[in-house]
Structure 1
Amino acid sequence: MASTVAALTQELVAVPSHEDETAVGNHIEDWLRRETDSAITRDDAGNVIARAGAGENSLALVGHHDVVEPAPSQVAGPDEYVVDERDGRLHGRGTADMKGAVAAAMLAFRDAVETLPESAGDGELVFASFVGEEVGGVGARHAIDDGFAPEYAIVGEGSTGYSSPGVTDVAIAHKGRRGSTITAHGSAAHASEADAGENAIYRATDAVDHLRELEAPAVEVAGETLSGSVVVTEIEGGTAWNVVPDRCEITVDERTVPGERASLEAVDELEGFEWTVDQDLPPMECGDDGFADLVLEAADTAQTGSPELVTKPHATDAGWLSQAGTECVVCGPAEPGEAHTESESVSIAVLERCQETYRRALESWL
């Protein structure tokens, strides 16, 4: 039995989950059944959800157990990832993003459930670890469609090192991402008779000019400006050096903010253009100051530093939950620059801090 957050993190990280999350989902489910007296479900997508208590009010600890593809140095064999401890940190694929936070949430959930009968009132505690976060929130969306709707959620994505190095903050808003393709249509002709055709690349540059003139939205959150952006990241068109192209595609990366969107729809209304949304990860903003303050107080009590309410530049599953009506904050051990890297690691001391933060938040909420 893993008795510490470091040991449990090592167990979870060692199990591969970049192509198939089944094995690590089994490990999480088995641990919860063994360690907690809670109602546990495993839905068709592979999400692991545990519930304890009863009533209309619910607070969930939320994470995900899928990871991005590991680097060769992070693979020990066909059925095992490398995970090792050095200098007070755990190193390996998924340590920071985000099996460490999942382990901290599992332990905090277990400890809070043990005190639930005496203190619960009408509150329900929930633990949820989703699949498919790294590929567009597949698991979170499936769970929401299946009725997963806690009133409140703490999502354990990284929030450490935002206000100052080493401090675990509480993010009350984050950006979303909308990825889209603008297709410019023209008509082909031989390049020696260019006027006989309609050059789709030239038409595409008109769309680029329009995008460059768009004003990216911005909102004020937690005393700072959360700014969106619209960036053309790819352009592809043409079939041969001597043919006027009849088609040209532009890829657009748009970072969205709560409540505001750049007007990319206007391009779709222009003659000869087609606009297709390929991915739309929603932003998040917590609208309940009392809940944000509760989690901030728990984080403050769990560490010597002084955490702050901050914003986060990356989209998380909190966006899907927020869009569905759950009040969310993000609080977790990962630091900027750790996720998705060959040198990915997480501080053991910060994992322990997050476990304590989650436990205090659950008990205070009850």
Structure 2
Amino acid sequence: MRELADLTEELVAIPSHEDETAAGDAIEAWLRDETDARIERDDAGNVLAYKGATDDPDADTLALVGHHDVVPPADRQTTGEGNAGDYVVERREGRIYGRGAADMKGAVAACLLAFREAEPPAGRELAVASFVGEEVGGTGARHAIEEGFAPDYAVVAEGSTEYSKPGVTDIAVAHKGRRASTLVASGVAAHASEPEAGENAIYRASDAIDEVRGLAAPSATVFGERVTGSLAVTMVHGGETWNVIPERCEVTIDERTVPGDRADLARAAEAVDGVDWEIDQDLPPMACGDDTFADAALAAASEVHDELGLDAPEHVVKPHATDAGWLAEAGTDCVVCGASEPGEAHTESESVAVDVLERCYRIYETLGERAF
């Protein structure tokens, strides 16, 4: 499907790591040229479009969701120096190479074409959304939700290819979240020759770290699959010079959360005098709450795989946080299904397979036309 590859290349070529405006303009222009949809561009820069079920107050909404921001490119991925200039895009041996090809402008292109081609069933509104700010904490998704974006169901087109086995695009029914937090230990400065005159913040931080090591990692069960999070101290910063008892020490913690559970980090702070706990970022996990929708998504993917002579996809759990977490937190039942394979996103050699993009397009279109 040449149109899909060409649209992917067009979107990938547009720089969008500092300013997503031009990429959003291209998506909006394509929707206006190619569809009769009701199109919105909100104050954050998100692009939203809707079709079908305009006069049915009881209609539900299925959204195909992506994002058009990307992480900063490597020097080799631009035509200039220091991330300046246009993005370099290459197509060779059935893959498209360039910053954002896998994460996730290729999937956005597949969503756009599926949105154009799909005819939603009676009682169904079909939407497509491309958000800004996914790579910096989901700012675009959160803005859209605050402004009333509330689909009943969503297919978030982040990567789910080759999770269960090579050569398949699976349906992720859950993913982990990420909570970044800091334990701040406060002490009293003193000359290091008289340590008893002060309170050593590093010692207090060390005691708090011992408490963290004793905490259980969060865990949950989703669709019969055990989802286990993780908890790790990743940085410690304390002290200013070799001969002063430190009065402050910060401990950075990376926690991978799961649906319905968090580690009890507040206890680690409460157990040690002079230690406070601060949450820096909390990207929510996701679990699909509607078995019928999850099964319908898998059925659509299975039909496409069968038609292509591929192994059957499965329900899987994704280890990374996505905008599906924000949508699920707001009440949308989500699955994740997309072309990116593990290890492709955010790399200097980032790429996506054209045949997998076509596979995803067919899955999105099939599900978009299905009653469930």
TM-score by length of 1: 0.96
SS at match of 2:349: coil
Cα distance in 1 between the residues matched to 2:27 and 2:304: 25
Out of 342, 348, 354, the residue aligned to residue 360 of structure 2 is 354
Larger deviation, residues 165-174 vs 215-224: 215-224
State the partner residue of 1:244: 245
How does 1:142-161 map onto structure 2 within 5 Å?
142-161=143-162
Once the 2 structures are TM-superposed, how far is the Cα of residue 194 of structure 1 from its aligned partner? 0.4
State the partner residue of 1:62: 65
State the partner residue of 1:34: 33
State the partner residue of 1:272: 274
State the partner residue of 1:71: 74
Once the 2 structures are TM-superposed, how far is the Cα of residue 302 of structure 1 from its aligned partner? 1.4
State the partner residue of 2:331: 325
Cα distance in 1 between the residues matched to 2:12 and 2:218: 38
Cα pair distance change 1:156/1:34, threshold 3 Å: same
State the partner residue of 2:22: 23
How does 1:1-366 map onto structure 2 within 5 Å?
4-53=3-52, 54=54, 55=56, 56-77=59-80, 78-112=84-118, 115-116=119-120, 120-270=121-271, 271-303=273-305, 304-365=310-371
SS at match of 2:79: strand
Deviations 1:161-216 (A, max 9, x none): 00001210000000000000110000000000000000000000001000000011
Structure 1 unaligned regions, length at least 5: none
**1:21 is matched by which residue type in structure 2?**
E
Once the 2 structures are TM-superposed, how far is the Cα of residue 131 of structure 1 from its aligned partner? 0.1
Contact 2:70–2:99 (CA under 8 A) maintained in structure 1: yes
Once the 2 structures are TM-superposed, how far is the Cα of residue 123 of structure 1 from its aligned partner? 1.3
Cα distance in 2 between the residues matched to 1:106 and 1:268: 47
Cα distance in 2 between the residues matched to 1:166 and 1:340: 21
Percent identical among aligned pairs is 63
Once the 2 structures are TM-superposed, how far is the Cα of residue 3 of structure 1 from its aligned partner? 5.8
**1:200 is matched by which residue type in structure 2?**
A
Larger deviation, residues 311-320 vs 83-92: 83-92
Cα distance in 2 between the residues matched to 1:347 and 1:318: 23
Root mean square deviation of aligned Cα: 1.2
Structure 2 unaligned regions, length at least 5: none
Once the 2 structures are TM-superposed, how far is the Cα of residue 80 of structure 1 from its aligned partner? 1.7
Q: What is the number of equivalent residue pairs in this alignment? A: 360
SS at match of 2:369: helix
Cα distance in 1 between the residues matched to 2:160 and 2:253: 27
SS at match of 1:258: coil
Cα distance in 2 between the residues matched to 1:244 and 1:3: 66
Contact 2:16–2:23 (CA under 8 A) maintained in structure 1: yes
Deviations 1:270-300 (A, max 9, x none): 4201111000000000011110111111111
